[in-house]
Amino acid sequence: MAGIVTGLVAVLAVSSGSDPGRALEALWLGSVGSRYALLSGSLVRATPLILCGLAVALAFTAGVMNIGAEGQLLAGGTAATAVGLATSPSLGRLALPAALAAGAMAGAAWAFLPAWLRRRFGVLEVITTIMMNFVALYMVGYLVRGPLQEPLRIYPQSASLPEAARLPLLPGAARLHLGFAIALFCAGGVWWALRTTAAGFRVRVIGANPDAARSAALIDVGRSTLRVFLLSGALAGLAGAIEVTGVTYSLYENISPGYGYTAIAVALVGALNPLLTAVSGVFFGALEAGAAAMQRDAGVPSVTATVAEASIILVVLASAGVRGRVARRRRRAAHTPPITRSPGFSGVA
């Protein structure tokens, strides 16, 4: 993957009239070239990508095409902001867990309508989740200009969260906050649940073949996919809550630069494995941090990161397609009976 990114950056830098050597240097220095860049840039950006990537990976594993992580993230960030501002004076430090819980529940609630429409009427969740993304985007725009706008009514954003509702920074880790540890814990928890629990086994069976799961394993596919959908939304909502309580400290438009959409790439590159998804999230976080540094220091447009992400997805999907074709050919060859000839047959007319 690193070679693909390096080659793409060099080509795009040349096409934009920039020095490819300077662009690659800026990419390196802005992502992992220093301790501060790694901790305060790459890993901070990786935190919402890991959680949203887990949301997508979990849903895809169960055969649920949840494309709404972006909207669920925004819903979670909105709820966390509202709860954090409202409860800080009375709850003190308990306002932080309340805000995080509210964010997770809001993400699940935002996923409920597409989940219900899929189960009740068979509506494709790809369509409904994408539509809910736009609803969430405009909802945030309305709230930061209306009910949640800061007291002076000057800027289209909410008031800043008080200290009690903010995630603490990790010791000696610059701007890296506790949310990164929470994201890694969630990755380990989702992996453990999918691999060692009965519920996780049902999720994997449903994703492999829902008809067989329903008829042979007697699994309630509708109920199980509904639960997976809600849990997926909760993970994305938690990502939004962590972004608000750990990075921005207030709600405003464009609080997410597309984390929910990039999460699809994160999950696919991680092969829908929760642990590999966490690694993939760190990789994409470093890529986005480096892209920002390239634009700032080398004049290369930051959309280079988007091009690189799309190219990586194409490579991963193509590789998976080739491996699947090879595996099918091997299975057919293994099940093809050998040609036998009768003892008296010489093969000569």
Q: Which pLDDT does position 332 carry in this prediction?
A: 81
Per-residue pLDDT reduced to its tens digit, 63-109: 999 999 999 999 999 999 999 999 999 999 999 999 999 999 999 99
Mean pLDDT calculated for residue range 180-184: 97
Residue 176 lies in a domain: yes
Q: Show Cβ contacts of residue 278 under 8 Å, excluding neighbours closer than 6 positions.
A: 50, 53, 54, 183, 184, 187, 270
Q: Which pLDDT does position 103 carry in this prediction?
A: 98
pLDDT band at 349 (very low <50, low <70, confident <90, very high): very low
Total tally of structural domains belonging to the chain? 1
Residue 315 lies in a domain: no
Residue 115 lies in a domain: yes
Range of the domain at 207: 54-280
Instruction: Let me know: does 226 contact 59? Beta carbons within 8 Å.
Output: no
Mean pLDDT calculated for residue range 55-63: 97
Q: Nearest 5°: phi and psi at 252?
A: -155, 170
Q: Which pLDDT does position 345 carry in this prediction?
A: 47
Tokens of 27: 């990419």
Q: How large is the C-alpha radius of gyration of the chain?
A: 24
Please state whether 81 falls in left (phi above 0), alpha (psi between -120 and 50) or beta. alpha
Residue 128 lies in a domain: yes
Q: Which pLDDT does position 167 carry in this prediction?
A: 97
Number of H helices, E strands in the chain: 14, 0
Mean pLDDT calculated for residue range 188-207: 96
Mean pLDDT calculated for residue range 192-198: 96
Residue 26 lies in a domain: no
Average of per-residue pLDDT values in the chain: 89
Q: Which pLDDT does position 3 carry in this prediction?
A: 66
Mean pLDDT calculated for residue range 319-333: 79
Residue 25 lies in a domain: no
Residue 37 lies in a domain: no
| Orientation of helix 125-143 relative to helix 69-91, angle to 10° | 40
Residue 212 lies in a domain: yes
Per-residue pLDDT reduced to its tens digit, 208-251: 999 999 998 899 999 999 999 999 999 999 999 999 999 999 99
Which residue type does 322 have? V
